[in-house]
């Protein structure tokens, strides 16, 4: 397993980023300000994590995605651990926003994230089409925070 830091040609990773965020227009709002960490198993890209600096004490995971055939193998967990280790010396907090999906929320909570607040109607107000996960339409953005 190898994690590479991507700082150029980030749009080359658009296909996998679209797994974590279905709207290319939304990805384009944060991709240039983000560092992408790409996890490879051998020569095969399995997962990515886009991280942006929010302020002098906080970094934010903007996108975390794994190709479906590589899920449940620990790749996303490895990326979260990597990001936490990378940023713990210069920052206090790691935050992220996600939809109301119990599987996703439980995954992040297992990694030490705690819910802080919600942005009401984020998905319905900011996406051109409805977003569904596990058969449920996403409406509110749920923010979680972890102390590094």
Domain residue spans of the chain? 2-147
Can you give the pTM of this predicted structure?
A: 0.88
CATH number attached to the domain at 2-147: 3.40.630.30
pLDDT tens-digit profile of 9-58? 999 999 999 998 888 988 999 999 999 999 999 999 999 999 999 999 99
Contacts by 88-92 with C-beta closer than 8 Å and gap 24+? 88/148, 91/53, 91/56, 91/57, 91/58, 91/59, 91/148, 92/57, 92/58, 92/147, 92/148
């Amino acid at each position: 397993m190898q994690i590479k830091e991507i700082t150029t040609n980030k749009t080359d990773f658009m296909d996998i980023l679209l797994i974590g965020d279905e709207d290319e227009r939304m990805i384009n709002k944060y991709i240039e300000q983000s560092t992408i960490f790409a996890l490879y198993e051998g020569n095969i890209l399995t997962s990515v994590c886009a991280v942006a600096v929010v302020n002098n004490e906080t970094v934010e995971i903007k996108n975390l995605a794994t190709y479906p055939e590589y899920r449940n193998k620990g790749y996303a967990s490895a990326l979260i651990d990597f990001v936490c280790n990378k940023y713990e010396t210069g920052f206090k907090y790691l935050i992220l926003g996600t939809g109301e999906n119990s599987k996703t929320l439980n995954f992040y909570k297992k990694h030490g994230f705690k819910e802080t607040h919600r942005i009401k109607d984020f998905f319905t107000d900011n996406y051109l089409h409805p977003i569904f996960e596990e058969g449920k339409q996403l409406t509110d953005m749920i923010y979680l925070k972890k102390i590094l």
